[in-house]
């Protein structure tokens, strides 16, 4: 029955379980955002339109469960505390663009998790490739007044952060911590 004592007990138990899951998610997001903010000087994130994405009924539950918006909020304020920068980048073609030769493979579907560039034949994991492209875009936004040629010509040891960026641009790896200690 709708108003029975057993139903009321079940509602309390279910509410408690939902609260526990919510707390676990928040705890994980706090810890992960702190780790990222403390260890990386430039953090690139895709500027996703989350509201539009949850309109797709296939992905809405997964996107909402992940609480992307909340995670971005945590990441931004913790990066400010740590002296890091969060750069939102245009998400267009980040997983479709080859990070080696910059060719865009328009034939990819969401089901394609790995792909080979038809131009340079480099093999890509879709998510890793998107991460590399997102970081590259974030670095370009962070340093718009410098060209890649100018960065590569700065061999003066006093440019320690530039040397780190030069390493990132040449090897396409994650950004090392910008600050020491």
pLDDT digits (tens, 9 = 90+) for 11-61: 999 999 999 998 999 999 999 999 999 998 889 888 888 777 778 777 777
Q: Residue 30 domain-assigned?
A: yes
pLDDT at 12: 93
Q: Residue 143 domain-assigned?
A: no
Q: Which residues, in sequence order, are CB contacts of 71 under 8 Å at separation 6+?
A: 29, 32, 33
CA–CA gap between residue 149 and residue 38 (Å, rounded): 29
Q: Residue 152 domain-assigned?
A: no
Q: 51 by DSSP, 3-state: which?
A: helix
pLDDT at 97: 92
Give the residue numbers spanning the domain of 72: 7-89
Domain count for the chain: 1
Report phi then psi at 37, rounded to 5.
-60, -40
Cα separation values, 149 from 115, 141, 145, 160, 177, Å: 30, 16, 12, 17, 23
Q: Residue 23 domain-assigned?
A: yes
Chain mean pLDDT for the chain: 79
pTM: 0.65
CA–CA gap between residue 164 and residue 20 (Å, rounded): 41
pLDDT at 33: 93
């Amino acid at each position: 029955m709708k108003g029975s004592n057993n139903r009321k007990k079940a509602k309390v138990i279910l509410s408690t379980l939902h609260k526990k899951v919510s707390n676990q998610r928040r705890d994980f997001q706090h810890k992960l955002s702190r780790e990222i903010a403390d260890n990386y000087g430039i953090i690139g994130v895709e500027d996703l339109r989350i509201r539009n994405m949850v309109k797709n009924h296939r992905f809405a539950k997964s996107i909402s469960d992940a609480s992307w918006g909340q995670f971005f909020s945590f990441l931004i304020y913790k990066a400010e505390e740590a002296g890091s920068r969060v750069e939102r980048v245009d998400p267009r073609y980040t997983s479709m663009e080859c990070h080696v030769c910059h060719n865009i493979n328009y034939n990819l579907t969401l089901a394609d998790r790995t792909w080979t560039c038809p131009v340079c034949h480099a093999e890509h994991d879709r998510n890793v490739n998107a991460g590399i492209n997102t970081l590259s875009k974030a670095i370009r936004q962070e340093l718009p007044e410098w060209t890649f040629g100018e960065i590569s010509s700065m061999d003066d040891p006093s440019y320690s952060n530039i040397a780190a960026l030069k390493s990132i641009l040449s090897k396409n790896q994650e950004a090392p911590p910008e600050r020491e200690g």
